[in-house]
Amino acid sequence: MYQKEAYTRNSDKILLALIERKMDFSTLLDKVKLSAPALSNHLKDLIERKLVSFEVKGKRKIYYPLENAYQQPGVKSHLIGIVEAYRTIKGRKKFWSEVGRRAVSLFSQNPDAAFSFLSAISKYRLHLESLESQSEISLEWLFLRMHEDFNMLKEMKETIKDLELKGVNPKELKRKFRSRMEDLKNLYIALGPPFSYRWLEMVEKLEE
């Protein structure tokens, strides 16, 4: 039983690493800290189960997760924790009380999800001076939220430009834009890859 649980955990570790980004064997080996033979066996099994595939680049195989990988219990638990962290950070009302409440709830139901939740929360840099006062869990859900946040920033930036063209200095709106930009950057960096990489790519042009 222990060996089966350890094998499953190592498989989940590999899937979560590949969800962060595509990797070749050597990079993945450094990431998951398994022996080379163990990693080879896991990859062979994951490929046979249609959870992972690879593309050939020169002499290297670049591994990446397939859609079924996101339905694996370990991966779903991770995403549950990340989604709860997103909701808690975005809610921001009675922040630490809400963190405690959700952490206790998750620990009683799904310890792996609780770990991912607290890991993301611990990496989020709170601006204390600005603290004013289970639907379907999927990667798509979070990316949709990310695009909503990006579009909100884009609209703010366009409004600032429109006001400036009319000879108005939107000083307060600019302040809110910078504050919101920093806040969302902290949020998505806290959630980690692949969200952090994708967010930084999306907002790069907004910061020009």
Closest CA to 64 of 76, 50, 75, 74: 50
Cβ–Cβ < 8 Å for 78, 113: yes
pLDDT at 52 over 90: yes
Least confident of 37-41, 43-47, 81-85, 203-207: 203-207
* Number of helical (H) and strand (E) elements in the chain, helices listed first: 9, 3
Amino acid at 109: Q
Cβ–Cβ < 8 Å for 114, 100: no
Phi and psi (nearest 5°) for 56?
A: -95, 125
User: pLDDT grade, residue 208 (50/70/90)?
Assistant: low
> How far is Cα 178 from Cα 157, in angstroms, rounded to an integer?
10
Tell me what the mean pLDDT of segment 43-50 comes to: 96
Fold of 2-69: Arc Repressor Mutant, subunit A (1.10.10)
Select the more confidently predicted residue: 33 or 90: 33
pLDDT at 70 over 70: yes
DSSP letter, residue 121: H
Say what the pTM is: 0.67
pLDDT for the residue numbered 64: 94
> How far is Cα 56 from Cα 114, in angstroms, rounded to an integer?
36
Q: What is the pLDDT of residues 88-140, one digit of tens each?
A: 887 766 777 778 878 888 888 888 888 888 888 877 755 433 433 344 556 78
DSSP states of 147-177 as a string? Answer: HHHHHHHHHHHHHHHHHHHTT---HHHHHHH
Q: Where are the domains of the chain?
A: 2-69, 74-203
